[in-house]
Amino acid sequence: MTSPSANIAAGCAAPDQSAPLPASVDLEKETVITGFVRNAEGEVVGGAYVRLLDASGEFTAEVVSSPEGVFRFFAAPGSWTVRALSRHGNGELAVDAARGVNEIALSVAAS
């Protein structure tokens, strides 16, 4: 048996963001918002705090991007904002998510 902490990012209770989607995920019924956090030079940013905000701007969830800059949220279809806070700066992107996998690229830059 694998320890539960083996799939948890350091300092965050979210599963490993780089792990493949579980086989049990039905993409015809579920909505996944996933992508990479990149800095102004296009390099991936690991360790960024990535937040999911609903259509009214309310905080819904937060994960830490993997060392490869990957993040993932399971959400409902609709309008969302994905915001990243990192040592390289911050970034934000509006997303109109549909059922299935919604891939985005989130750029961060110093203010």
User: For the domain that residue 48 is a member of, what is the CATH number?
Assistant: 2.60.40.1120
**Tokens matching residue 98:** 């549909």
Does 70 map to a domain? yes
Nearest to 71, CA basis, from 100, 106, 41, 97:
106
Domain count, the chain: 1
Question: In this predicted model, what pLDDT tens digit does every residue of 12-70 receive, in sequence order?
Answer: 555 666 666 666 676 678 899 999 999 999 999 999 999 999 999 999 999 999 999 99
| 21 in a structural domain | no
Please classify residue 104 by burial: count the beta carbons closer than 10 Å to its beta carbon, then call 0-12 exposed, 13-18 middle and 19+ buried.
middle
State how far the Cα of 94 lies from the Cα of 89, in Å rounded to an integer.
18
20 in any annotated domain? no
Residue 92, pLDDT > 80, answer yes
Q: What is the pLDDT of residue 29?
A: 83
Per-residue pLDDT averaged across 73-101, rounded? 96
**48 part of a folded domain:** yes
- The answer to pTM > 0.85 is no
CA distance 31 to 13: 20
Question: Which domain does 48 fall in, by range?
Answer: 30-107
Query: 12 lies in a domain?
Result: no
Are 48 and 68 within 8 A, CB to CB? no
Q: Is residue 95 part of a domain?
A: yes
